[in-house]
Structure 1
Amino acid sequence: MLSQLETIDVVVLVLMLAIMPTAGIIIALRKKTAEDYFLAGRSIRWWAVAGSVFGTNISSFHLIGMLGIGYSIGFVQAHYEIVFPAILLLCFVFLSSYRRLDVFTLSQYLEVRYNDKARLLYTILLILIILVQLVGSFYVGSITLQWLFGGTSFAMSYPAGLLLIGLITCSYTIWGGMESIVVTDTIQTVMMLAAGTAVAYFTLSQPEIGGFMGLLDLDAAQPREVQKMHLYLPSNHPNLPWTGIFTGLLLQHCFNFSTNQFLVQRVLAANSDHDARRGVIASGFLKLTIPFFSISAGVAAFYLFRARFGTIDFNSDNAFLKLVETVIPPGTGLVGMILAGLTAATFSSVDSMMNAATTLLTVDVYQKYVNPGASDRQIVRFGRLMIVVMVVASIALALYTYTPDRTNNFMLKVSAQLSYFTPGIMVAFFVGVLWRGASARAAVTAMAMAPFYGLLAEFIYDNFLGTSPAVAAVFGQKLNFMHRVFLTFVLSLTTLVALSRTLFPNQNLAGFERLRVSLNAGQLARAVGLFLVVQAVFVGLVFWGGFAPKSLAPWAALVTLGLFLLPNQAVNEPAAAGPDETGTKPSLSLRGDLRWAGALTAGSVGILYYFA
């Protein structure tokens, strides 16, 4: 519990929190067409795309949870923020197709590529995924508010926290739609970064730590088996095995950034392809900051608490609050700013998920099946009603299906729960955009079977394979959810390809021809192949050449950047489509965006080697 907030903290907290609904309500006063309400009139600039994508992707649950995982496990959690493969896939494979079709939802994209059954199944699955995440966000958000404000004049009960989150997010999402959400998400991003940076600065500045480099030296002085500032854990690690990181977690990143409605909706709402690409790439840079102010602060907290208090045995997710009490100077307003940032983070994901769910329900259910001739006014009115329904349902489920208790590393547990449905969705999108032979019936079957494949893989491994000491020594006694995601993806992929080649050949070639991608399957394979060859050379230098990964990090980053600067036919390919919305030839904007994507990839690769 925090001690009683000082007056300056209360003032800072109230002022900062008042900014969000005020800005959202001002935007909401404008008259809204359906496109304005669900996609902000497709007018969002790149910086707003970046802020909204980041705000949507990060919540207080992530910031607190990541610091807790840094405290209990280590810097390996940074892999959740190294998402450059997923960003490249969205920007240079899917983005031009999504925006060219001028759709509101990704389910509409699936209808063009496959059929209306694929569209409906995606809608059902995404509503389920979003509802689970909404319930989890309300639950964790309310617990966080209880936890943050306990012992202060703002102390509240668990139900009161749920109600507060619902009321504040509804205050601007119901009336303002996507435009209000984008504006508030951008504000929330600034507040989150300010809060996280303040905690990291004061933590790393403690004399027991001596700055970030001091943290690295402190960690390096420990026996190798207990060091925390490394990115790779054994393949049998129960939470974050390196084999799972480069398979299942990578696929989960691709789902979130390429085929997830509530994140990709920002791309659909961008002013141009160029704004969409640059905004998503910028969000990737923002995500790369999280390991250095949240996860590293968690590692520093481990050493700081050990030095000052001896051995502390408590829930790792409580490390954040203990850190605020320990390192933040009182009477400066910083505690109020940090609490405001975390409270803002609580709202940032909830409002985005509500908007995405209501978009799917309105466009794919109401407009498609209930009232095909609905006017803009009717569509917007139904969307507003669905926000109320989703909020009420989420609060009710948060009250009756969760208890106000938390367990260690809650973030990892929620990630595992949400990953049963995603592999089949990824297969339908990935294969559909790259292979003309993928058929509708095969895609629907693959999506529908994915959860059962996941449960089957877990049952077989946990009850048979995992009982073998030889297998358990490599992959653990229980099947890690990242490994399960990869196995499910392979089984779903096999299903789609096999059925498309045998029982259900593709009858909708026109659907494939309507899709236009920046990289086709051959170009994508060559680009990925070249990248892997380069990395194989550097990995070989580590394992067989005796080089320290840290010494190779800058060279690996530079060579990786060079790959993006080479003349590339794929960059010139879309030029025939003519100028984009800004009047710039797509080939020129693509080339510029490719350089920024190269910088993001190079920075990420450098991190992967430096902290090996």
Structure 2
Amino acid sequence: MGNIQVVPVIILIIYIGVMLSIGFFVNRLTIKTSTDYMLAGRRMGVLMIACSLSANNIGGGSTTGVAAKAFNGWGMSAAWYVLAAAVAMIPLSFFAPRIRKTMAVTIPEVVNRRFGNFAGVFTAVLNVLSLFCLTASQILASASVLSAITGVPLNAAVVVAGGIIIVYTTLGGMLADAIADILQFFIIFFGLLISVPMVIRGAGGWQAVSNMLPEVELDMFKIGIPTILGLIFNYFCTFLSGPEMVSRFSSAEDEKTAVKASVLSAVLMGLLAFMPTLIGLVALAENPGLDGGQGTTALMYAASMYAPPVITGLVAAAIVAATMSSADSNLLCASTILIKDIYQRFINPEVTDRRLITLTRGSNVFICLISMGIALFNINLITLNLFAFALRSAGPFAAYALGMVVPKATKNAGIVSIIIGSIAVVIWQIWGGNTGVLPIVFGCFWGVVSFFLVTKVESSMGKPPAPSAFGS
């Protein structure tokens, strides 16, 4: 066991205690039906949804990852990694009220309603497999921070992080998740906001830092316009077909709330984008050889070197909050899809409402334990996660998104678009190379093309439109 950083550990213990308390009290006071558990009773307001959307988007990749990108090649333009997500929330606001209007619990439910069982099951499988990988990576990211500041072995930290996520997610469901997300977002936001000026001041001030950096590192457009546009489209596709995002809109108290929350989330993420970027640039200026020149620990390095211990603790809590806010959402969405779209639809359609809650809780435990097992291997999950995001989004994207806005779409249009989009993303992942076009963009493009093409051909043949996405 290594050295324990006392102040950061105390802050993290307080944070974890609050998380567990939220799960306990939400379970005791609010969970009465499966809708309460899975969708917070569809009573969530603008601030709660906006913070929850933002906290889910700002994971480990948008904190430690952005700092590392700023250090290793992207410079100031690393802020676009988060800014692109903020921009993507604007067009997403067009779909937000339609998502709420479906009154569905999951994405596969809407796809199944419009395009049939095959399309629904295929979408469910893609979603669940993706969420397994994503939950594992967020547990591992949380455990890495816990291990760094407590000195406990990484494997033990994985067990602790996974256990915490299991308890408060399983107890309180969506409402506990959303309440925790509010706390987590403000910890992320204010933890980084307070740390940035202190880190810069500790490094001698911004003028001193910028003087040590090549001018190109301060260029907001260093990565190029095509890459920025690709990131925006990537986020839009991922968000619109991401169960953890869609569940927030489905939980809104009404359609207008969903729209307002999307716009507010864009603002909140935009405000946060530059904080980890600036910390990463400080680390680059002061120690360009960090981590063999890769700067993977740039955020925690700069915070621990140039800020007081209490600030280091806030940053550590912010990173853990960022990763846990994503892990709990991934976990709950995977369980909801597994129970609602597989178990209830095909195994036991007459299952009682209380039994649904019990099964979803049991599924939370099962999925998190499997994800912890994956995390214990400490493998590099970045490429796997990017592929999982692409596969789960590119296939169902056209069927789900266009299924809500194209009334004349035929049943086969949805089915074909899921198959073509999924095949295209696999092909591009393997053979696309360094073309600059992301697999998810390639897959979504061909999914959309095939969706409209099949609809046009079948409509000209007299095929009737598929059932409405907004029906019962």
Same-fold call, TM cutoff 0.5: yes
- The answer as to whether partners of 1:78 and 1:231 remain within 8 angstroms in 2 is no
- Match among 487, 491, 511 for residue 446 of structure 2: 491
Q: Matched residues in 2 for 1:159 and 1:420: separation?
A: 29
Please state if 1:229 is matched with 2:219: yes
Q: Which residue is equivalent to 1:13?
A: 12
CA distance in 1, matches of 2:13, 2:152: 16
For 2:41, the equivalent position in structure 1 comes to: 41
Residue 261 of structure 1 deviates from its aligned partner by: 1.0
Q: Which residue of 1 aligns with 2:77?
A: 76
Which of 452, 465, 470 aligns to 1:509? It is 465
Superposed displacement of residue 458, structure 1: 5.1
Maintained 8 Å contact 1:46/1:275: yes
Ranked by relative contact order (alpha carbons within 8 Å, sequence separation 6 or more), the top structure is 2
Letter of the aligned partner of 1:231 in structure 2?
F
How far the C-alpha of 1:514 sits from its partner, in A, is: 4.5
Q: Does residue 424 of structure 1 match 2:395?
A: yes
Q: Is the 8 A contact 1:20 1:188 kept in 2?
A: no
Cα distance change, pair 246–356 in 1 and its aligned pair in 2 (3 A): same
Aligned to 2:195: 199
Asked if 1:167 is matched to 2:146, the reply is no
CA distance in 1, matches of 2:462, 2:97: 23
Q: Pick the structure with greater CA Rg.
A: 1
Secondary structure in structure 2 of the residue aligned to 1:29: helix
Q: Which residue of the partner structure matches residue 447 of structure 1?
A: 418
What's the TM-score once normalised by structure 2's chain length?
A: 0.90
Which string of whole-angstrom CA distances, capped at 9 and with x for unpartnered residues, describes residues 241-291 of structure 1? x324314x2332112332211112111111222322222222111111222
Q: Is the 8 A contact 2:391 2:440 kept in 1?
A: yes
Aligned equivalents of 1:132 and 1:281: distance in 2?
29
Match of 1:392 among 361, 364, 369: 369
Deviation at 1:122, TM superposition (A): 1.3
Q: Is the 8 A contact 1:77 1:231 kept in 2?
A: no
1:323 aligns with 2:280: no
1:172/1:9 Cα in 2 relative to 1: closer, same or farther (>3 Å)?
A: closer
The answer as to whether partners of 1:173 and 1:351 remain within 8 angstroms in 2 is yes
Cα offset, 1:460, TM superposition: 5.0
What one-letter code is carried by the residue in structure 2 that aligns with 1:359? T
The reply to whether residue 87 of structure 1 matches residue 89 of structure 2 is: yes
Aligned to 1:239: none
Contact 2:203 2:286 in 1 (8 A): no
Counterpart in the other structure of 1:178:
174
**5+ residue gaps in structure 1?**
235-241, 463-477, 516-612
Supply the distance in 1 between the matched residues of 2:168 and 2:96 (Cα, whole angstroms): 28
Structure 1 residues 293, 350: CA separation in 2 closer, same or farther (over 3 Å shift)? same
Contact 1:62 1:411 in 2 (8 A): no
CA distance in 1, matches of 2:28, 2:298: 41
Residues in 2 aligned to 1:369 and 1:271: alpha-carbon distance in whole angstroms? 30
Give the aligned partner of residue 98 of structure 1: 99
How far is the alpha carbon of 1:80 from its aligned partner?
A: 2.5
Provide the secondary structure at the position in 1 that maps to 2:253: coil
Select the residue among 245, 253, 260 that pairs with 2:228: 245
Which residue in 1 is equivalent to 2:407? Answer: 436
Distance 1:280 1:381, change over 3 A: same
Q: Which amino acid aligns with 2:13?
A: V
Residue 297 of structure 2 aligns to a residue whose secondary structure is helix
The separation in 2 between residues aligned to 1:182 and 1:61, in whole angstroms, is 20
Q: 1:350 to 1:166 in 2, by over 3 A?
A: same
Instruction: Judge conservation of contact 1:209–1:300 (CA < 8 Å) in 2.
Output: no
Q: Which residue of 2 aligns with 1:295?
A: 277
SS in 1 for 2:395: helix
CA distance in 2, matches of 1:496, 1:461: 22
Structure 1 position 385, deviation (Å) = 1.0
> Aligned in 2, Cα 1:483/1:99: closer, same or farther, shift over 3 Å?
closer
**Cα offsets for 1:427-462 (capped at 9, x unmatched):** 223433333343222322221232322333455554
TM-score, length basis structure 1:
0.70
Q: Shift of residue 145 of structure 1?
A: 2.4
Amino acid at match of 1:119: G
**Count of matched residue pairs:** 467
Report what 2:325 is aligned to: 348
Counterpart position of 1:382: 359
CA contact (8 A) 1:48 1:182 kept: yes
Partner residue in 1 for 2:292: 313
CA distance in 1, matches of 2:145, 2:241: 29
Partners of 1:446 and 1:246 lie apart in 2 by 23
Local SS of the residue matching 2:221? coil
Question: In the alignment, which residue of structure 2 is the partner of 1:281?
Answer: 263
Post-superposition shift, 1:77? 2.4
1:606 corresponds to which residue? Answer: none
The alpha carbon displacement at 1:506 in A equals 8.0
**Equivalent residue runs for 1:100-115 within 5 Å:** 100-115=101-116
Using a 3 Å threshold, how does the CA distance of structure 1 residues 23 and 68 change in structure 2: closer, same or farther? same
Aligned to 2:121: 120
Q: What SS does the corresponding residue of 1:419 show, helix, strand or coil?
A: helix
* Counterpart in the other structure of 1:145: 146
Residue 117 (structure 1) shift = 2.2
Structure 2 distance, partners of 1:381, 1:483, is 40
Q: What is the identity, as a one-letter code, of the residue corresponding to 1:446?
A: S
Cα distance between partner residues in 1 of 2:25 and 2:8: 26
Q: Could you tell me how far apart the structure 2 residues matched to 1:373 and 1:312 are?
A: 56
Change (3 A) 1:335 1:115: same
For residues 462-611 of structure 1, what are the structure 2 equivalents within 5 Å?
462=433, 478-480=434-436, 482-502=437-457, 507=463, 509=465, 511-512=467-468, 514=470
Aligned pair in 2 of structure 1 residues 256, 367: CA closer, same or farther (>3 Å)?
same
Q: Which residue of 2 is the match for residue 470 of structure 1?
A: none
Distance 1:414 1:375 in 2: 35
